Amino acid sequence: MRIGIEAQRLFRPKKHGMDIVALELIKSLHEIDRVNEYHIFVKKDADVLCLNLTHPNFILHVMPSMPYPIWEQVYLPYYVAKLKLDVLHCTANTAPIFASCKKVVTLHDIIFLEVNPLNKGTLYQKFGNLYRKYLVPEMVKSTDMLITVSYFEQKRIKEHFHYGDDKVKVVYNGVGNHFFHQHSPEEIKSIKLKYKLPEKFILFLGNQNPKKNLPNVIRAYSKYLQENGNLNLVVLDYPKESLKNFVNSEGLDVRIIDKTFSPGYVNNKELPLLIQACDIFLYPSLRESFGIPILEAMACNVPVITSNTSSMPEVAGDAAVFVNPESVEEIVAALINVENNPELQAELIAKGAKRSAEFSWTSSARQSIQIYENLVS
């Protein structure tokens, strides 16, 4: 087979969930498949070293920069036809409406169909949500197979589009091998110095996406301090000035400002060090289609607190403390309980190590190959 993999944003320096999924899928396909021919489509950007394709069956196509809808709806279909591909796998929720081959789309979630796309988020996020909201309902009509990443999301997609199981397959995400490597105390100390982090802290792996629930986390942390919680808070991808403005507007405990650290974006290679440096991993999202960081923290041997909603119980199994993400009181109670209960910490770490080992990118790649083969045969 001649297989195309759309991974348009793969080379961008600041990668997030869908970018990591695409990168790990391609790396695993490169490791295990020596039969099929792969054409990887990416847009020119700074992080060209993230992918090292050495096998001749894997061909990289670096496309020029242009507006994303034109890239996806015009440029990509042209190359699909020119290369006479058998299958095109688009990895990030959208795809060309028209393609001259079988089409597989990883539809990570349909959150953009459930909310007003212009309601919250950055301008970039609003545009992306608007594009998806109008494109995806048309795109799925011409898609041969949808892949999604949890049974929770499969149910939502099937209900929304009135599809059966044969049109929406679940392929779980995995955990990068580098998260299972336990770093030395010296390495942990070094990452703390690099990012000017406190000795003991809660790590909240959020950003300014509304679903990450940052306002409730900040409110909960204020109450946590008032209840004599001792740990600092580290928040990724959140400007300190924005934190100050939020604390002032809400009238929260001003100690938050001094006890909250904002190292900005941390790349995926360094993320295991940062997670292993923390005492509690806090991930109370309002909505997730999967929640890879839950498993990454478990692989790092850190106790996890996450939400009892959407896909998160499915992913975490029995290896996390669950909270209602909209309840500040539940988040605070969970933080106090985990912080002061060494036996619970040990139990969560042991169960988390076992749970995270059940998810691998190799398994995801093998299932993807099977889907490609079934469509072409």
- DSSP letter string over 83-126? TT-SEEEE-SS---S--SSEEEEE----HHHHS-TTSSS-HHHH
By DSSP bridging, strand 280-283 and strand 304-307 are parallel
> Is pLDDT at 116 greater than 70 in this prediction?
no
> Is pLDDT at 258 greater than 80 in this prediction?
yes
Beta bridge partners of 307: 323
Instruction: State the pLDDT at residue 134.
Output: 87
Instruction: State the pLDDT at residue 277.
Output: 98
> Is pLDDT at 118 greater than 70 in this prediction?
no
More confident residue, 152 or 237: 152
Predicted model pTM: 0.93
Query: Average pLDDT of 39-54?
Result: 93
Stretch among 161-170, 218-227, 323-332, 368-377 having the lowest mean pLDDT: 161-170
> Is pLDDT at 65 greater than 90 in this prediction?
no
Q: Mind listing the domains of the chain with CATH numbers?
A: 2-174+360-376 (3.40.50.2000), 178-356 (3.40.50.2000)
Give 33: exposed, middle or buried? Use CB within 10 Å, 0-12, 13-18, 19+. buried
Q: What is the pLDDT of residues 175-226, one digit of tens each?
A: 999 999 999 999 999 999 999 999 999 999 877 788 899 999 999 999 999 9
